[in-house]
Structure 1
Amino acid sequence: MITFILKRLGSGLVTLFAVSILTFSLLYVSSGSIARNILGDQATPEQLAVKEAELGLDQPIITRYFSWLTGALGGDLGTSWFTSEPVGNALATRIPVTMTMVFSAMILIAIVATLIGVAAAVKRGWVDRVVQIGAIIGDSIPGFVIGIILVTILAIQMGLFPATSTISPGVGADAWLLSLTLPVIALLINGVTGGAQQIRSAVIKQLERDYVRTLRSRGIGEREVLFKHVLRSAAPAGLTVLSLQLIGMLGGVVIIEQIFALPGMGPLAVAATGQSDQPVVMGRCNVHRRRCHCGQPHR
C-alpha cells in the first residue's frame, strides 16, 4: 500500500512538473512584447530594454523557468507586472469565492446524485429511463448555457436573484448566499445527472452480487441492505466520478464566474492571461535578485 501511494504521488509530481513547463513555454511563445504592453505604444526602445531587464525578460527561458520554480517552491508568488499587487493578496481575496461555490456545488451533487442514482437502480422503470436521458442531456449542455438561462429567467425576468454578484469585502452572508445560488444551481444541474448515472450503474452491479442475496436470506431489511452494505460497496465508483467532476469543475467555473461577475479566480485568470501577466498566471515569474540599469537590486 505504501509503495502504491508513493508511486502515485511520484507520478503526480512528474505530471505537475510537465504541466508547469508546458504552461510556462506557451506563455513565453504567446506573450509578445510584455514591456510594450506595460509601458504603452509611446515607449522608446531604451525604455523597453530597461523594463525587460527589470522584469528579467532578457534572460533565457530556462533561467526564467527555474527562477520561477525556485520561488514558487519557497512560497514567493511575486508581484503582478501590471497592477503591482502581490499575487498572494490577489489570490487570498478570490480563492474563498471560487472554493465556496465549487465545494457547495460538489456537496449538493454528491447528495442529489446518490439519491437519484440509488432510486434509479432500485425502482428501475421510468425513473431509470429519466436518469439515463437526463445524463445525456446534462452532459450535452455546457454549464455556462445553463447559467445564462438561469440569469435570464430567475434574475432578469423574475428578479428573484441579483443578475451580477454583490460580493465585496465586508458584506454579510446574505449577499454571498444570493450571489452564489444561481452559479451553484448551474453547476449542480450540469453535474448531477452524470454522477447519478455512474452511481446507478455501481449500485446495480452490487445488487447482483451473491452477498446481497445472502443478506436478504438472513432476513435483513431491504433498507439496511441497500444503505449499509450496497451503497458502501458502490461508494468507490461514485467517489471516483465525483473527484473527476471536481477537477473538471475547477476549470469550468472560469466561464461561470464571468457570467455572474463573481470576484473569483476566473476573472483574474482571464485578465492575467489576456495581458500575459505571467506572475499571476504562473504564481511567480519574477527572477531572483538582480541589478537593472539604475544599479539598484530588483526581484
Structure 2
Amino acid sequence: MLTFIIRRLLAGAVLVVVITTVAFFLLYAGSGNVARKILGNSATQAGVAEKNHQLGLDRPILVQFGDWLTNALHGSFGDSWFTGQPVNDAIASRLGVTLTLVIGATVITAVFAVVLGVWAATRRGWVDRIVQFLSVLGFGIPGFLIALALVLVLAINLKLFAPTGYTSFSDSPSEWIKTVTLPVIALAIGGVAGVTQQVRGSVIDALRQDYVRTLRSRGLSTTSVVFKHVLRNAGAPALAVLAVQFVGLLGGAVIVEQVFAIPGVGQVAVTATSQGDIPLVMGLVLATAVIVVIVNLVIDLAQGAINPKVRLS
C-alpha cells in the first residue's frame, strides 16, 4: 500500500509541475501589457517601463519562471499585481467557500447517482426509461439556467433560501445552509446525471456475470447480491467518473458563484485572468492542481479498498 501511495504521489507531483509550467507560459503569452493595465492609458511610456522593471517583467521569461518556481517551493506566491494582497491570503480566504460547494455537490452526486443507477439497473422497464430521460435532461440543461431557475422559484417566489450571498458556518449554521443549498443543488444536478449513467451501466454489466447467477441460486435476495457483491465490482468505474465530475465541478463553480454572488475563487479567477495578474492566477492554478492530485489519490485508495487488484495495476 505504501508503494502504491508513493507512486501516485510522484505521478501527481510531475502532473503539478507540468500544469504550472504550461500555465505560466500561456499566461505570459496572453497577458499583454500588464504594466499599462495597472497604470492606465494616461501613464507615460517611461512610467510603464519603470512598472515593468518593478514587476520584473523586463527579465527573460525563463528567469521569471525560475524565480516563481523557487518561491512556490518555499510556499510564497508573491502579491497580486493589481490589489497588492498576498496571493496566499487571497486564495485562503476564498478557497474554503468554493470547496464547500464542490464537496457538498460531490456528496449529493454520489448518493443520488448510486440510488438512481441501482434502481434503474435492477428494475429496468419504465423505471429505467424515466431515469435515463432525467439523466439526459439534467446533463443537457446548462448549469447557469438551473441556477437561475432555482433562484427564481425557491428563493424569490417561495423565499425558502437566500437568493445571493454567503454566510459562513461559524457565523450562523442555519444561514449557512440557506446560502449554500441552492448553489450545491445547481452544481450537483449535472453530476448526478453523468454518474448515474455510469453506475447504471456498471451494475447491469455486473448483474450479467456468472457469479451473480451462482449467488442467486444459493437463495440470496437481489438486494443482498447488489449491495454486498455487485456494487463492489461496479464501484470502481463509478468512482473514476466521480473524480472527473469533481474536477468539472471546480470549473462549474465559477459560473454558479457568479449567479449566486458567492465570494469563492471563481470570481477571483475570472478577474485575475482578464487582468493578466500572473501571481494570483498561478497561485490559483497550483492550488487547483494540488486539489486534483489529492482527489485522484483518494479515489485510487477508495478503488483499492473496493477492489485490491487496483493496487497492483
After TM superposition, the structure 1 stretch with the greater mean CA deviation from structure 2, 216-225 or 59-68, is 216-225
Q: How does 1:1-299 map to 2 (within 5 A)?
A: 9-167=9-167, 171-283=171-283
CA distance in 2: counterparts of 1:263 and 1:96, whole angstroms: 10
Distance 2:135 2:72 in 1: 40
Asked whether the 8 Å contact 1:191–1:245 carries over to 2, the reply is yes
Q: TM-score, normalised by structure 2?
A: 0.85
1:13 is displaced (CA, Å) by: 3.8
Q: Report the counterpart of residue 295 of structure 2 in structure 1.
A: none
Is contact 1:167-1:262 (8 Å) kept?
no
C-alpha displacement of 1:158: 2.6
- Determine the C-alpha separation between the residues in 1 that align with 2:116 and 2:198: 11
Alpha-carbon distance change, 202 to 24 in structure 1, aligned in 2, over 3 angstroms: same
Distance in 2, Cα, partners of 1:175 & 1:39? 41
SS in 2 for 1:84: coil
Tell me by how many angstroms 1:67 deviates: 1.2
Q: Which moved more, 1:152-161 or 1:223-232?
A: 152-161
Aligned to 1:292: none
Deviation at 1:168, TM superposition (A): 6.0
Q: Which runs of 5+ in 1 are unaligned?
A: 286-299
In structure 2, C-alpha distance between the alignment counterparts of 1:221 and 1:153, rounded to whole Å: 42
Aligned partners of 2:187 and 2:252 also within 8 Å = no
- Cα deviation, residue 190, structure 1: 1.5
Across the two proteins, how many residue pairs are aligned to each other?
285
Structure 1 Cα separation of the partners of residues 141 and 164 of structure 2: 22
Q: Deviations over 1:185-219 (max 9, x none)?
A: 11121111211111011111111111111112222
Contact 1:79 1:284 in 2 (8 A): no
Amino acid in structure 2 at the alignment position of 1:82? F
Displacement after TM superposition at 1:276 (Å): 1.0
Q: Indicate the larger mover: 79-88 or 167-176.
A: 167-176
**Structure 2 residues without counterparts, runs of 5 or longer:** 286-313
Cα distance in structure 2, aligned partners of 1:172 and 1:284: 28
Question: Take 2:37 and 2:167, find their aligned partners in 1: how far apart are those partners?
Answer: 30
- 1:148-168 deviation line (CA, Å, top 9, x unaligned): 111122222332222211436
TM score, norm. by length of structure 1: 0.88
State the distance in 1 between where 2:258 and 2:66 align: 33
How far, CA to CA, are the matches of 1:163 and 1:241 in structure 2? 31
Q: Secondary structure of the equivalent of 1:262? A: coil
Identity %: 50
- Give the stretch that moved more between structures: 29-38 or 176-185: 29-38
- Could you tell which deviates more after superposition, 47-56 or 169-178? 169-178
Q: Cα RMSD (Å) of the superposition?
A: 2.1
Displacement of 1:257:
0.6
Note closer, same or farther for the CA distance 1:35–1:114 as it changes in structure 2 (3 Å cut): same
Amino acid at match of 2:128: D
Considering only CA atoms, is the larger Rg found in Structure 1 or Structure 2? 1
- Residues 251, 105 of structure 1: CA spacing in aligned structure 2 closer, same or farther, 3 A cutoff? same
Displacement after TM superposition at 1:111 (Å): 0.6
Find the aligned partners of 1:23 and 1:229 in 2 and give their Cα distance.
44
1:169 and 1:180, CA in 2 relative to 1: closer, same or farther beyond 3 A? closer
Distance 1:169 1:204 in 2: 41
In structure 2, distance between residues paired with 1:79 and 1:63:
18
Aligned mates of 1:272, 1:18 — CA distance in 2: 21
Structure that is richer in helix per residue: 2
Give 1:289's aligned residue.
Answer: none
After superposition, the Cα gap between the structure-2 partners of 1:255 and 1:65, relative to the gap in structure 1 and judged at 3 Å, is: same
